[in-house]
Amino acid sequence: MKSYLAQELSTGLPYDIFMHSSASHPMLQVADYCCWAISRKWKDGDLRSYSSIQKAVLTEFDVFQRGRKEYY
């Protein structure tokens, strides 16, 4: 991540990278679950987990719709 940001950001622009454990706050666990459920829907077509959060999802769209590059 740091090497990519060093190439993409303007020289000398300060930044910090923070990775908080989802166990550090209950709402991070909720956000993690929602992202996971939506990911399963898009990647595998599995709607079991998504159906439990669907009413709370206001919008969603495929951010990679126009591109062909794979991100991991």
Positions of the chain with pLDDT under 50: none
Distance CA 11, CA 27 (A): 35
pLDDT of 33 reads 93
Q: How far apart are CA 24 and CA 65, in angstroms?
A: 33
Enter the pTM of the model. Answer: 0.59
pLDDT at residue 20, as a whole number: 78
pLDDT number for residue 7: 78
The sign of the CA dihedral 34, 35, 41, 46 is: negative
- pLDDT of the residue at 51: 96
The residue ranges of every structural domain in the chain are: 23-61
